[in-house]
A = this chain, B = another copy of it.
Amino acid sequence: MAKTLVFGHQNPDTDTIAAALATSFFLNTAYQADTEAVALGEPNAETQFALDYFKVSAPRVIEQADTDTVVLVDHNEAGQSVANLADVTVTGVYDHHKINFKSAAPMYFINMPYGSTATILYYEYKNANVTIPAAIAGMMASAIISDTLLLKSPTTTPMDQPALEALAELAGLDDYKAYGLAMLKAGTDLSTRTAKQLIDGDAKSFDMNGQTIRIGQVNTVDIEDVFARRDELVAAIEQELAEDGYDTFVFVVTNILDSDSEVLVLGANQAKVAAAFDKDLVADRFALPGVVSRKKQVVPPLTAAFEA
């Protein structure tokens, strides 16, 4: 069997990197597959903290998929995937996002509305009776902590906590809360990042009724720290809108301690974006108290507003 690459979305986050590592090991062990976990970018600061803690090497970064077959994790939409996705066959998907996918043949497509892809994979390992190595369990626990903000995000499901507890034990993490807080904080040191890195570090593109909406998000412990750099951020966003052909940029700044967000909207459709949340724009901004999840609390109202 020819080699298959396993990778998550562009601008990889902790769940994307952990899911690629966990899926590749799972497929190689349970199905004697020949897969390699790779990534579409370098790890972010949070993920690097987890990789360092569990002494795991970051997956090799690829620009193009150079195998015939690939497995996608933590995404299923072409716009978030490798550039030459149309040239290869997707033989499997493990994901927990909304679906926008076509295949030419039956295939493995496992999507569940759990807090992280790592949660889905924990149960796949369990059902197949495959032992999770400690380092991979540590990365999977980190992924659940990251995607659910330590089980506090509204994306958290009843499946996540048991998975996190079991993985923490396998990984030898005696106090996963203390570890998780340290890891999340490692991801919020924004001072060393350029404006371009801030707006784009976690950004994803969504096609909404013909409009390309780019949604970036940063986690912080002080929202006004980020908006102190507003002029820089606006310039970076306007440059990206002009160069990359996005219609609209939605930049979500989230306080992970208070679970609140502030949103900056630039480009076309400004009023439509604000109206999707019943908000008015003041200086291109509006507040979203209680909102921390792009997937659960930002994308669905936007999709509904654009497709109405």
Cβ-defined contact, B109 with A111, below 8 A: yes
Give Cα A236 to B300, complex, Å: 45
Closest-by-CB residue of B relative to A109 is B111
Q: How far is the CA of A102 from the CA of B76 in the complex (A)?
A: 10
Chain B residue numbers with a CB within 8 Å of A101 are 99-102
Which interface residue of A96, A100, A102 has the most chain B CB atoms within 10 A? A102
In this assembly, does A103 line the interface, its C-beta being within 8 Å of a C-beta of chain B? Answer: yes
- Considering residues A101, A106, A109, A295, which has the most beta carbons from chain B within 10 angstroms of its beta carbon? A106
CA of A147 to CA of B103, assembled, Å: 20
A113: Cβ under 8 A from any B Cβ: yes
Asked if A127 lies at the interface with its beta carbon under 8 angstroms from chain B, I say: yes
> CA separation between A87 and B99, bound complex, in Å?
17
A295 and B304 alpha carbons, distance in the complex (Å): 34
Decide if A107 is an interface residue (CB 8 Å cutoff).
Answer: yes
Closest chain B residue to A99, Cβ basis: B103
> Cβ of A295 and Cβ of B110 under 8 Å apart?
no
B113, A110: Cβ atoms under 8 Å?
no
Q: So how many copies of this chain end up in the complex?
A: 2
Q: Which residue of B lies closest to A95 (CB)?
A: B106
Of all chain B residues, which has the CB nearest A111? Answer: B109
The verdict on A62 contacting chain B, using a C-beta distance below 8 Å, is: no
Taken together as a complex, chains A and B put the C-alpha atoms of A296 and B107 apart, in Å, by 12
- The answer to whether A104 touches B304, judged by C-beta atoms less than 8 angstroms apart, is yes
Shortest Cβ distance from residue A73 to the other chain B in the assembled complex, whole angstroms: 14
Please tell me if the beta carbons of A111 and B102 are within 8 angstroms of each other in the complex.
Answer: no
Q: Are B107 and A110 in contact (CB under 8 A)?
A: no
Determine the distance from Cα of A307 to Cα of B102 in the docked complex, in whole angstroms.
13
Complex contacts, A204 vs chain B, CB 8 Å: none
Within 8 A of B (CB), among A249-308: 295-296, 300, 303-304, 307
26 A–B contacts, CB within 8 A, in A order: A96-B106, A98-B103, A98-B104, A98-B105, A98-B106, A98-B107, A99-B103, A99-B107, A99-B109, A100-B101, A100-B103, A101-B102, A104-B300, A104-B303, A104-B304, A105-B113, A105-B300, A106-B111, A106-B112, A106-B295, A107-B111, A107-B113, A109-B109, A109-B110, A109-B112, A127-B127
